[in-house]
Structure 1
Amino acid sequence: MLKELWNDAAGGFHPASAPDFLPEAALKEVQLRRLRAVVERAYDNVALFHDRLRERDLTPAAIQSLEDIRHLPFTVKADLRDTYPFGLFASPMSEVVRLHASSGTTGKPIVVAYTREDIEVWSEVMARTLACCSLHRGDIVQNAFGYGLFTGGLGAHYGAEALGATVIPISGGNTERQIMVIRDFGVSALFSTPSYFTHLVERASELGIDLRELPLRVGVFGAEPWSDGMRSHIEAAAGISAFDIYGLSEIIGPGVASECPEHHGLHVFEDHFYPEIIDPETGEPLPDGEEGELVLTTLSKRAMPMIRYRTRDITAIIPERCGCGRSLRRIQRIGRRSDDMIIIRGVNIFPSQVEAALLAVEGTLPHYRIILSREQGLDQMTVEVEVTPEVLSDQVRVIEDMRERIAQAIERILGIRVGLRLVEPHSIERSQGKAKRVIDQRGD
């Protein structure tokens, strides 16, 4: 499968033969054929899915068109925990060559499985992801995604190798070593969470190293939402092009969708992952262009097919064709989830909104946290944000002016005033993986 995507003579990605450029009719034919096969596989081998279809008086034969997918039941994260560890597997363990799992911070971990064919698909979509991000054979890539049970590290690793790049499997943490390797190995691309990369840039500056003077040209970032303001900060500070990628362990890991050089939405590799947008309250499908919850169906996963998995990520399908020429549909960048919403005094707030407000004010740093507390029975929200040393060393009047500008920026976006605390650089704990933005001290 993979070798069909690459032109060895050209030394890299060969668009003419890639699924990214399939005509719409050909793509839909592939999708329907794979959808019917995966529904039959899940029906025959996964008791939960079989029982839910029987409850609806449905069989796989009901899938006669792509539109028929809306008759199938949803799968949710609780299903994976309720059937822990192997209850959703459609392959016998003798065919499973890899297991990954979530950290389990909110209960039992989510376990996902891969057959040899699944690993090949994963490598393919990650290679297509990285080609989408302007990487090619000959690039030296530093993979600072975490290895181990987390899907990010190995998924990106396999894709980069399939692309023909040189991979440095450094994993996360040990920031000074990361900086040394970037400089000494001539790294041209780096993979990490955006929050960790901002920390890396900051530490490099403290060591007297300007990443803008090194060969590093591309950053591939995922695993957490990040704003356009964060992108601008990263690109200016490091002199790179920053690309957003999207994936989740329940579906396959990274490799579900990727930005291209147009930087206007993420192409979904929909020959393997069928996207829908639904109303998160009613579950009803929404038309292209309308914002709602992303639902994904794996079209080729063998070990653990996911049928209409509710991601809780809020986005919309962009109906227009992309200027890069890919026929794959795009989703808007995901800045929030339906389940990370904070409600303060009746107002719905998402952490990404706070980040956007902060990064619009010069003198702030991209490190912040939201502290939720309760005083006299009322919920309170305080934003702590790091500011540059120059701001804190200035006159009291200048500090107060900065505080007011940040408060006004937050109020413009959120519609309410919240508590605000300006703190010194490095006073907010840095993350080597996903940043923990919200500290809830309200208790039960």
Structure 2
Amino acid sequence: MIWNEKIECASRDEMAAVQSERLKQTVQRIYHNIPSYRAKMQEIGMLPGDVRSVEDLKSLPFTNKTDLRDNYPFGMFTVPMSEIVRVHASSGTTGKPTVVGYTRNDLSMWAEVVTRSLCMSGVTRNDIVQVAYGYGLFTGGLGLHYGTENLGATVIPISGGNTQKQIQLMQDFGSSVIACTPSYALFLAEVMQEMGIDPEELKLRVGIFGAEPWSESMRKEIEAKLKLKAIDIYGLSEVIGPGVSCECEHQVGMHVNEDHFIPEILDTETLEPVAPGEVGELVFSTITKEGIPILRYRTRDLTRLIYDKCECGRTLVRMEKCKGRSDDMLIIRGVNVFPSQIESVLLEMSETEPHYLLIVEREGTLDVLKLMVEVQEQFFSDEVRELEKLKKKITHNIQSTLGISVDVKLVEPKTIERTAGKAKRVIDNRKI
């Protein structure tokens, strides 16, 4: 089912016309209401009237996370607080939180794009959707919640954690859709196995997973363990929350709701547009938000865009599953390393669990990458020779794939901390 066929199946010319008109209005609103962004435009001698179409987007200044933090808490809002009906914020673990505000129209638009995403995933009004993303200042829980209600499906607002209760409700309520982080989905599968519950006996058929990067190998692992179709959803609070883009049932890239969010792919060094189909940094401009519209926001996510028409019939541009983030990239002895690359190697091996932790240390003048990885119970032998053999195998596979040596430490199952939210994959002690 396609929720909004007129937009989701529009021609490129039709979409460009919609984007151009909405971009012009957004630039006017931002210029006249956000002093810091107006100063950026004035610095390059640009006025709102200079933006006549979506082609002029590339001339506008960027917005960074620091801009939101420097204007904390409400300095980037373009409407008075009397028109803001909800506020969300990031966790603020790396500094001041980034605060976003929503008007009534913003919440309606957000529900619309999440509803489209659910339809892309194959969810219908007959489904029972268990939302196990966190509720609160994090946008995941409430984003999926209102989109589900807007679709007309049944929502179970359980939030994150309380894993045994999650599984009990799946059994008792007949949940057919689970929405959570991919790492939590694997933890659910693990606990189900401990409880002696066969996922085949549940009604789960679709999982909507996001909020953290995950690989194709991890998708296969989740699908095999939970017996469902694993769909990738993308979003970030600065742009709206979940629903910026989502995979359809064909799972070949996430359709961007580009009548609301215009994507660009830029070279990470020059910040110039890359050639069509090339990988670069994803940049978004919102063109319908009222509370906190944002132009050319640097997401730091690395991906590429696909403009071919999808088998599902939608013409919305697709973005590939993110390779990683430019600011999460580890540089170890001159080699660029993404956690997702390590994850892919581990998930191709039958002996390891999909739970790992990367630790970066500086020993003398050299950077050392250490990997803690859980071994499946049947392979965690008391025989030192067998464990040493497995350790060498992992080390060799990573060396062959990444071209870098890694100090592997094998640990027992359930040693690495589980979380209902985003999994912590990297500890970089070089910054301490």
Is the TM-score greater than 0.5?
yes
Once the two structures are TM-superposed, the CA of residue 401 in structure 1 deviates from its matched residue by 2.6
SS of 1:323 mapped into structure 2: coil
Equivalent residues, number: 432
Structure 2 residue aligned with 1:3? none
Structure 2 residue aligned with 1:401? 389
Q: Following superposition of structure 1 onto structure 2, how do residues 90-109 of structure 1 map, counting pairs within 5 Å? A: 90-109=78-97
Quick check: 1:382 aligned with 2:370? yes
C-alpha distance in 2 between matches for 1:307 and 1:407? 43
Please point out which of 339, 347, 350 is paired with 1:351.
339
Quick check: 1:192 aligned with 2:180? yes
Q: Following superposition of structure 1 onto structure 2, how do residues 294-443 of structure 1 map, counting pairs within 5 Å? A: 294-393=282-381, 395-443=383-431
Q: Following superposition of structure 1 onto structure 2, how do residues 22-171 of structure 1 map, counting pairs within 5 Å? A: 22-171=10-159
C-alpha distance in 1 between matches for 2:97 and 2:400? 39
Partner AA of 1:178 in structure 2:
Q
Once the two structures are TM-superposed, the CA of residue 443 in structure 1 deviates from its matched residue by 4.7
Structure 2 residue aligned with 1:248? 236
CA contact (8 A) 2:3 2:115 kept: no
Once the two structures are TM-superposed, the CA of residue 54 in structure 1 deviates from its matched residue by 1.4
CA contact (8 A) 1:361 1:409 kept: no
Structure 1 residues 117 and 57: alpha-carbon distance in aligned structure 2, compared to 1, 3 A threshold: same
Spell out, residue by residue over 1:62-99, the C-alpha distance to the aligned partner (whole angstroms, 9 max, x if none). 11221111110000000000000011000111110000
CA contact (8 A) 2:353 2:376 kept: yes
CA contact (8 A) 2:358 2:427 kept: yes
CA contact (8 A) 1:212 1:237 kept: no
State the percentage of identical aligned residues.
53
Structure 1 residue aligned with 2:271? 283
Once the two structures are TM-superposed, the CA of residue 14 in structure 1 deviates from its matched residue by 5.0
CA contact (8 A) 1:44 1:50 kept: yes
Once the two structures are TM-superposed, the CA of residue 389 in structure 1 deviates from its matched residue by 1.0
CA contact (8 A) 2:266 2:281 kept: yes
C-alpha distance in 1 between matches for 2:350 and 2:256? 35
C-alpha distance in 2 between matches for 1:178 and 1:341? 34
CA contact (8 A) 2:2 2:119 kept: no
Partner AA of 1:146 in structure 2:
G
Structure 1 residues 166 and 123: alpha-carbon distance in aligned structure 2, compared to 1, 3 A threshold: same
Structure 1 residues 314 and 14: alpha-carbon distance in aligned structure 2, compared to 1, 3 A threshold: closer
Spell out, residue by residue over 1:242-299, the C-alpha distance to the aligned partner (whole angstroms, 9 max, x if none). 0001000000000100011111111100000000011111111123201100000001
Quick check: 1:223 aligned with 2:211? yes
CA contact (8 A) 1:212 1:240 kept: no
Once the two structures are TM-superposed, the CA of residue 16 in structure 1 deviates from its matched residue by 6.7
C-alpha distance in 2 between matches for 1:412 and 1:129? 38
Once the two structures are TM-superposed, the CA of residue 367 in structure 1 deviates from its matched residue by 0.3
Once the two structures are TM-superposed, the CA of residue 428 in structure 1 deviates from its matched residue by 0.3
Partner AA of 1:44 in structure 2:
H
Partner AA of 1:382 in structure 2:
K
Unaligned ranges ≥5, structure 1? 1-12
- TM-score after normalising by structure 1: 0.95
Question: Greater CA deviation, 343-352 or 246-255?
Answer: 343-352
C-alpha distance in 2 between matches for 1:44 and 1:155? 29
Question: Greater CA deviation, 404-413 or 351-360?
Answer: 404-413
C-alpha distance in 2 between matches for 1:306 and 1:15? 26
Structure 1 residues 18 and 139: alpha-carbon distance in aligned structure 2, compared to 1, 3 A threshold: farther
C-alpha distance in 1 between matches for 2:431 and 2:2? 55
C-alpha distance in 2 between matches for 1:76 and 1:236? 39
Structure 1 residues 286 and 442: alpha-carbon distance in aligned structure 2, compared to 1, 3 A threshold: closer
CA contact (8 A) 1:85 1:111 kept: yes
Aligned-CA RMSD value: 1.2
Unaligned ranges ≥5, structure 2? none
Spell out, residue by residue over 1:327-349, the C-alpha distance to the aligned partner (whole angstroms, 9 max, x if none). 10001101300000111111111
Once the two structures are TM-superposed, the CA of residue 377 in structure 1 deviates from its matched residue by 3.0
C-alpha distance in 2 between matches for 1:249 and 1:32? 24
Once the two structures are TM-superposed, the CA of residue 113 in structure 1 deviates from its matched residue by 0.4
Question: Greater CA deviation, 55-64 or 17-26?
Answer: 17-26
Once the two structures are TM-superposed, the CA of residue 19 in structure 1 deviates from its matched residue by 1.6
- TM-score after normalising by structure 2: 0.98
Once the two structures are TM-superposed, the CA of residue 32 in structure 1 deviates from its matched residue by 0.7
Structure 1 residues 15 and 157: alpha-carbon distance in aligned structure 2, compared to 1, 3 A threshold: closer
Q: Following superposition of structure 1 onto structure 2, how do residues 170-185 of structure 1 map, counting pairs within 5 Å? A: 170-185=158-173
SS of 2:61 mapped into structure 1: coil
Once the two structures are TM-superposed, the CA of residue 408 in structure 1 deviates from its matched residue by 1.6
Structure 1 residues 254 and 16: alpha-carbon distance in aligned structure 2, compared to 1, 3 A threshold: closer
Once the two structures are TM-superposed, the CA of residue 231 in structure 1 deviates from its matched residue by 0.3
Question: Greater CA deviation, 237-246 or 276-285?
Answer: 276-285
Structure 1 residues 291 and 63: alpha-carbon distance in aligned structure 2, compared to 1, 3 A threshold: same
SS of 2:85 mapped into structure 1: strand
SS of 1:417 mapped into structure 2: coil
Structure 1 residues 158 and 242: alpha-carbon distance in aligned structure 2, compared to 1, 3 A threshold: same
Once the two structures are TM-superposed, the CA of residue 58 in structure 1 deviates from its matched residue by 1.3
